Structure formats: C-alpha cells, structure tokens
Amino acid sequence: MKQAKSRYTKCLQWVIGSLLGLLGFSGCEDGIFGKDEPMDMYGVPTADYIVKGSVTDEAGNPIEGLLVTPYLHYGTFAPSQYPTTTTEKDGTFKLDTLKGMGIPPIVVADSDGEANGGHFIPDTLTMKEFEQIKLKDGKGAWYNGVFELKADIKLKKEK
Amino acid sequence: MGELSLRRRLALELWRIEERRVAREHPLRQLFWECTLRCNLHCRHCGSDCKQEAARPDMPLADFLGVLDNIASHTDPHKVFVIITGGEPLMRPDLEACGRAIYEKGFPWGMVTNGLAMTEARFRRLLAAGMHSATVSLDGLEEDHNFMRGHGRSFERAVAAIRMMAQTPDFLFDVVTCCNRRNIDRLDEVKELLIGLGVKRWRIFTVFPVGRAAQDPALQLTNEEFRRLMEYIKQTREEGRIRVDYGCEGFLGRYEGEVRNRFYGCRAGISVGSVLADGSISACASIRADYHQGNIYKDDFWEVWQTRFEKFRNRAWMRTGQCADCSFFRYCQGNGMHLRDGDGRLLLCHLERLK
C-alpha cells in the first residue's frame, strides 16, 4: 500500500514536472521534486553491519548465556532499533544487521550469575576492536554496503 | 489575476496540486534545533531573542537526542535534515559532540552561523563530526556588514569562514545576505566578492518586521527598492555566474519562477519543524509569535507533529484583513507563518511591495 502510494506520488510529480518543463519552468521542476531539498543534496553514509563473535574465559573455555547488547549510549534509542542476543553453548553470538555509519559499542555481560562458569566482568568493545570484512558493495553516494564485524573476546572472572 | 500571464498561472495551478499533497502528507524533512540563545554578535536585524549571555541555559544535548530517537522510531532519520541554529551555534563548546551524536543517530545536519568564532581547527572538527552543510551570513562589504553585525571583525571572520568552506571539496554551503537600504546599491560588489571566494550559492532576503528589525524601519526597503532587488536577482540568475535565490518568504506575482528555484510555498509546520531553546515544538526558526504546538518536556514530539499544526497545514484562517479579497490567496496562502503576529495579523505583504 505504502509502495503503491509512493509510486503514485512519483508518477504525479513526474507529470507535474513535465508539464512545468513544457511551460518553461525547468528550474521549478527541480525544486518540486526535491532535487533542491537538503536531503537530496546531503546525506548520511550508512552501511549494514553483521556483528559476530566468540567469548571465552581466560582459560579458553566458551561461555554460554552472556548477554550481548549494543550500548545505547545516548539514552533513549527505541529498543527495537538495536537487537540484543545471548551467547550459544560454544560461546559464539551473532547480532543481525545493525544499520548506521558505524556500530555503537557492544557490551558483553554476564546475565546468569554463577551459572555457566561463574560470574564474569563485563567488557565493552568499540568498532575498531572488530575485524571488518566487506560482504557486499554499496550503492549510490551514501550506502556503503554490508560488513561483517568479528571479534574474539576473553572475559575475566569476578573475584 | 491581473499581471500574471496564462503560462505562469497554469504553472502555479500545477504547483498548488503538489503543495496540497505535501501539506496532506506533512513529511518532516527539516528540523531546526535552536541549540542556544547565546550570541557573540548583536545584529541590527536579528529576529531572534538572543543575547551574549542568554537568560535561558543551552538545551542539554541529551534532551534533543531524545527527540531524535522519538523521530527515528517513526520515520527514516536519513530523510530528516537537522539544522542547528541559535543564537550562534558556535557559542556552544560541545557543538562538535552535538553534531557527532546527531550524525550517529543517522540524521544529516548542518548549521547556520555568523562565522565569527569559526576557526580552521573548529571547522575541521565539525567536518569530522559529520557536518554536511552550512549557511554563513554576509550582509555586504566590510563597512556594511560590520554596521549590521555590530562588530569590527565580523566581516573578516565571516569571509575567512566562507573561504574555508569554499576550499573544502563537496561541502555544500550558501551565503545569505540581508538586503537593506544601506547595501542595496552595492550588491554587485558583494556578488563579485562571493564569486571570487568560490561561492556557488547565494541567498538574499529582506528584513521582516520581527525582533530588533521591528524597531528599525530604516532597514526596510522601499517598494521601488524591493522591485529593483527582484530585477537584480532575476538578471543575476540569467547571467549564471552564481546561483542566487530570494529567501523563501512571500508570493511574488510575476517574479514567481524567476527569482527562486521553486514557486512560493511556506512549508513551516508542513515539512519544517523546530525544537526551540525552551523545548517548544514549533516550525521554522523565524516564527517568533507564539504558534508553538507543544513542548518536548511535556509532549511526544512525533505525536505533536502528526496530530497538531492545524494552523500551519490549513491556512484558510489567514483569509482575513488584506488577504480576505485577494485573488492571489490561492497561491500565497496568507504568506509565511513568520509574518503573522500573535493575533494572526499579516505583518508584510510582498505583493503590495511589488505594486
């Protein structure tokens, strides 16, 4: 429905723009269709990031059940924008598609107390601590493509 | 329709169709943030309430970011351009942090500045914080600009800021000039200065009777001067050496389609919103009368944007006074919201000035 509406709008704009062009107002044609709007002149580079990792204790044993959360560093992100996950039995995790010009810091924290090997001190990883692999090229001026970010993380036990 | 040719009238009718659609859909496209009321200048024509040390503290960044989160949960943030305004945004020591945080949330941003405090180091930091565009004010050659701005070095600093921007590849900016009785005869010299600096876009506006300018009628062009300005812009556009536009206000009759890249339409409250320094939710930052629709400290911004702003989106209420019998109302819709006083009275009619 939304797509049909958008197609209708574009079609209407095309017709109006063409008629204005015929009337000799080609400059206005640009304006009407937003070519003159800031959004079409400027943009925010974005990319899709798939964040993967594996978490072990200091002895190299995988840790299950850790909560992996993109840190909402400006307070009030809608929770749905940034998915969270927990580590699997083998200590691995995967966060699906974070969108942006980078990723927020990723916090790995114990969520089950003494279960699964004890209580671990949380760690926060910034983007530069992940290995970055490009999976798919970008498109246009502002979309940089799909990246996989990978990190091996070691957590210390709380004493 | 008097002086309008059939060709222009047909074009304006087509434009109306688009304007009505946009008003119905009211997509938020530009969001002004009045990040401070402090300013390092005391301009003669200022429409703002700013002072060197404003009574109201700057809005904390986190409060504005809350608004952006709210917007981003309903619409694509890449399509909402945040324009940081003031006061003078550079008065905020945390401006770079503000810009970066806005950028990280996916909103493109730019700023309006007088350039006085724009050092090269600060400009580089702002670029690194994701600044995409800027508007710099330059109100004439040195003497005229400094007279308007009330500061002996303001011209020199504004020119330095413009030069830095012009030398930055892919950085989009424009220079805005307030045309007044003092500088109108020297616009050509200003144009040559701007072309020499590498400026591609120039916007000229005229003083409207709001803020300090309301008490300074000497700044207002006469009708003859206003017509002369329209002719000047038209000729400069034809010349094609620099893109010049008249500001966004005012239906201009036979000059519609000649002095701006688009026909007139006030998008305040339709695609332009604002968050003012006290948290008020309003439309474009030039509106000084109380047409606030809510406050971010009490209301949900998006709900306000979606459900209020009736006065902005249906301007039939403006059809009073001199607009009551005006045959151009269908295109003008009562002029810009910033040209209405608190009682809804029209402060200035551009068509009258063209008579």
The C-alpha of A153 sits at a distance from chain B's nearest C-alpha, in angstroms, of: 25
Nearest residue of chain A to residue B19 (CA atoms): A32
Amino acid at A118: G
Across the range A139-147, mean pLDDT stands at 74
Q: Which two tokens stand for residue B184?
A: 């109108």
Higher pLDDT pick, B185 / A25: B185
Average pLDDT, chain A: 78
Structural domain includes residue A38: no
pLDDT of residue B54: 54
Helix pair angle (B61-72, B95-104), 10° resolution: 20
Structural domain includes residue A144: yes
Across the range A100-112, mean pLDDT stands at 81
| Record: contact B133-A38, CB cut-off 8 A | yes
Range of the domain at A78: 46-155
Query: CB-CB: which of A13, A99, A102 is closest to B18?
Result: A13
Structural domain includes residue A50: yes
**Is the same domain home to A25 and A99?**
no
* CB of B74 closer than 8 Å to CB of B31: no
Beta strands B172-179 and A143-155, pairing class: unpaired
Q: Is the pLDDT of residue A3 over 80?
A: no
pLDDT of residue A115: 85
**Is the same domain home to A71 and A142?**
yes
Structural domain includes residue A122: yes
How many domains are there within chain A? Answer: 2
Higher pLDDT pick, A59 / B56: A59
Structural domain includes residue A132: yes
pLDDT of residue B213: 67
ipTM for this model = 0.70
**Is the same domain home to A80 and A150?**
yes
The Cα A17–Cα A68 span in angstroms is 50
| Record: contact B62-A74, CB cut-off 8 A | yes
**Is the same domain home to A95 and A138?**
yes
**Is the same domain home to A21 and A55?**
no
**Is the same domain home to A20 and A60?**
no
Residues in chain B: 355
**Is the same domain home to A88 and A146?**
yes
Q: How confident is the model at residue A42 (pLDDT cuts 50, 70, 90)?
A: very low
Residue B248: CB atoms within 10 Å: 19
**Is the same domain home to A26 and A98?**
no
**Is the same domain home to A146 and A73?**
yes
**Is the same domain home to A87 and A137?**
yes
Ranges of residues in chain B whose predicted pLDDT is under 50: 1, 49-50, 52
Query: CB-CB: which of A44, A75, A80 is closest to B106?
Result: A44
Q: Is the pLDDT of residue A37 over 70?
A: no
**Is the same domain home to A93 and A142?**
yes
**Interface with chain A: mutation pick from B24, B94, B105, B262, highest number of A CBs within 10 Å:** B262
Structural domain includes residue A142: yes
Residue B39: CA atoms inside 13 Å, Cβ hemisphere, count? Answer: 25
pLDDT of residue B216: 73
Structural domain includes residue A69: yes
Residue B134: CB atoms within 10 Å: 26
Structural domain includes residue A35: no
The Cα B63–Cα B278 span in angstroms is 11
Structural element, H or E, at residue B98: helix B95-104
Q: Is the pLDDT of residue A41 over 70?
A: no
B9 φ, ψ (degrees, to nearest 5): -65, -45
Q: Poorest-confidence range of A25-34, A41-50, B122-131, B214-223?
A: A25-34
Amino acid at B27: P
Q: What is the CATH number of the domain that holds A127?
A: 2.60.40.10
Q: How confident is the model at residue A97 (pLDDT cuts 50, 70, 90)?
A: confident
The C-alpha of B216 sits at a distance from chain A's nearest C-alpha, in angstroms, of: 33
Q: How confident is the model at residue A78 (pLDDT cuts 50, 70, 90)?
A: very low
- Cα dihedral B349, B351, B354, B355, rounded to 10, equals -100
